[in-house]
């Protein structure tokens, strides 16, 4: 049995540019690797983080608004891997975003609106901490198999 | 026709490129690398160019595709809709298992025809199923 790291924390700030997404995915993979996640789970964690960050890049900062970028914090605990993505842009109410009706979505060849659904489906837990005018945080958690 | 998209100035780190090949009335598009919100517009341009050329029978050969996010899936959805409206189709071939898993999770495998090999996708077009 390999000993899992516990209580480690990492932080990084990325500019609000979609060109950063590949670096963000690498950052997250590097921190999640070796903890016991399968290759498929690593892919899913990267995808969920990508979707969360792409949402911020696309929606949080309209042109002209001060843009301090997005802040990523990774926490490794014995039973979970958590990524917190924080921005100071426009706020939104995550409770107003209903999951898409996939049958209808596909039948109508709709485009867009799958990012939050993917995050919620690929991760074990998705929580929001929205403080209008202060910060928006989305916390993505994937649990590790524990013996 | 090939195009590349870089994530660093000077093209040092290349995360995405694509090739487009013509095979009679079929077109094979081969994305290679990572399709995300940054690189998806490159794929979108290629698939839209085919619309201007009135080439609506397209195979997306995913053998070298490492990754696709919802931005890329949106591009595929827009393209298949247009191609089918014009009696064509966008068929998927050789999609890596981890990519297919997410594709399937979203139900896209019910809408798109997905084949293990490029040859099977070509045969499906030749058999006239569009």
Instruction: State whether residue B112 sits within 8 Å of chain A by CB.
Output: no
Q: Which domain holds residue B38?
A: 2-126
Q: How far is CA B80 from CA A62, A115, A125, B20, B125, in A?
A: 31, 20, 33, 17, 14
Instruction: For residue range B44-66, list pLDDT tens digits in order.
Output: 999 999 999 999 999 999 999 99
Domain holding A22: CATH number? 3.30.565.10
For B70, the closest of A40, A106, A114 (CB atoms) is A114
Q: Any residues with CB less than 8 A from the CB of A145 and at least 6 apart, and which?
A: A36
pLDDT-derived band at B6 (thresholds 50, 70, 90) equals: very low
Name which of A34-43, A92-101, B58-67 the model is least confident about. Answer: A92-101
Q: Which domain holds residue A135?
A: 8-143
Query: How many domains in chain B?
Result: 1
Residues of chain B numbered 60-89 and touching chain A (CB < 8 Å): 67, 69-71, 73-74, 77-78, 80-81
State whether residue B106 is helix, strand or coil: coil
| Mean confidence (pLDDT) of chain B | 91
User: Does A131 map to a domain?
Assistant: yes
The tokens for A20 are 């950063």
pLDDT-derived band at A115 (thresholds 50, 70, 90) equals: very high
Backbone angles phi, psi at A98, to 5 degrees: -80, 150
pLDDT score, position A67: 80
- B98 contact residues in A (CB cutoff 8 A): 39-40, 43
Q: Does the distance separating the beta carbons of B98 and A43 come in below 8 Å? A: yes
DSSP H helical ranges for chain B: 40-52, 70-85, 97-105, 108-111, 118-126
pTM, two decimal places: 0.91
Instruction: State whether residue B15 sits within 8 Å of chain A by CB.
Output: yes
Instruction: For residue range B118-128, list pLDDT tens digits in order.
Output: 999 999 999 97
Q: Is the pLDDT of residue B92 over 80?
A: yes
Region B64-69: what's the mean pLDDT? Answer: 97
For B111, the closest of A25, A40, A106 (CB atoms) is A106
For A21, the closest of B37, B102, B106 (CB atoms) is B37
Query: How many domains in chain A?
Result: 1
Residue in chain A closest to B96 (alpha carbons) equals: A40
For B36, the closest of A50, A109, A114 (CB atoms) is A50
Q: How far apart are CA A72 and CA A88, in angstroms?
A: 13
User: Does A29 map to a domain?
Assistant: yes
pLDDT-derived band at B129 (thresholds 50, 70, 90) equals: low
Domain holding B37: CATH number? 3.30.750.24
pLDDT-derived band at B86 (thresholds 50, 70, 90) equals: very high
Q: Any residues with CB less than 8 A from the CB of B119 and at least 6 apart, and which?
A: none
Q: Which residues pair with B32 in a beta bridge?
A: B17
Region A55-79: what's the mean pLDDT? Answer: 90
Percent of chain B with pLDDT over 70: 88
- B37 contact residues in A (CB cutoff 8 A): 18, 21, 50, 54, 57-58
User: Does A1 map to a domain?
Assistant: no
Q: Does the distance separating the beta carbons of A106 and B110 come in below 8 Å? A: yes
Region A6-10: what's the mean pLDDT? Answer: 88
Query: Tell me, what DSSP letter sits at residue A128?
Result: E
| Mean confidence (pLDDT) of chain A | 91
Instruction: State whether residue B34 sits within 8 Å of chain A by CB.
Output: yes
């Amino acid at each position: 049995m390999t000993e899992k790291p516990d209580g480690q924390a990492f932080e990084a700030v990325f500019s609000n540019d979609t060109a950063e997404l590949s670096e963000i995915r690498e950052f997250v993979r590097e921190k999640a690797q070796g903890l016991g996640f399968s290759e498929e789970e690593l892919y899913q964690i990267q995808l969920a983080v990508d979707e969360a960050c792409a949402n911020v890049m696309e929606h949080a900062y309209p042109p002209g608004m001060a843009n301090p970028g997005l802040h990523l914090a990774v926490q490794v605990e014995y039973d979970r891997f958590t990524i917190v993505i924080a921005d100071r842009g426009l706020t939104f109410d995550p409770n107003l975003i209903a999951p898409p009706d996939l049958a209808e979505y596909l039948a109508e060849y709709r485009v867009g609106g799958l990012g939050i659904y993917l995050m919620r489906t690929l991760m074990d837990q998705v929580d929001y901490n929205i403080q209008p005018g202060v910060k928006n945080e989305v916390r993505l958690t994937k649990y590790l198999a524990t013996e | 026709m090939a195009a590349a998209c870089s994530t660093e100035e000077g093209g040092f780190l290349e995360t995405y490129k694509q090739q487009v090949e013509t095979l009679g009335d079929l077109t094979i598009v081969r994305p290679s690398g990572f399709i995300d919100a940054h690189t998806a517009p490159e794929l979108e341009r290629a698939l839209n160019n085919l619309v201007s050329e009135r080439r609506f029978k397209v195979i997306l050969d995913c053998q070298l595709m490492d990754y696709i996010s919802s931005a890329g899936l949106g591009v595929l959805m827009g393209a298949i809709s247009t191609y089918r409206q014009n009696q064509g189709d966008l068929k998927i071939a050789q999609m890596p298992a981890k990519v297919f898993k997410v594709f399937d999770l979203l139900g896209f495998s019910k809408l798109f025809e997905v084949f293990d090999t490029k040859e099977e996708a070509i045969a499906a077009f030749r058999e006239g199923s569009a």
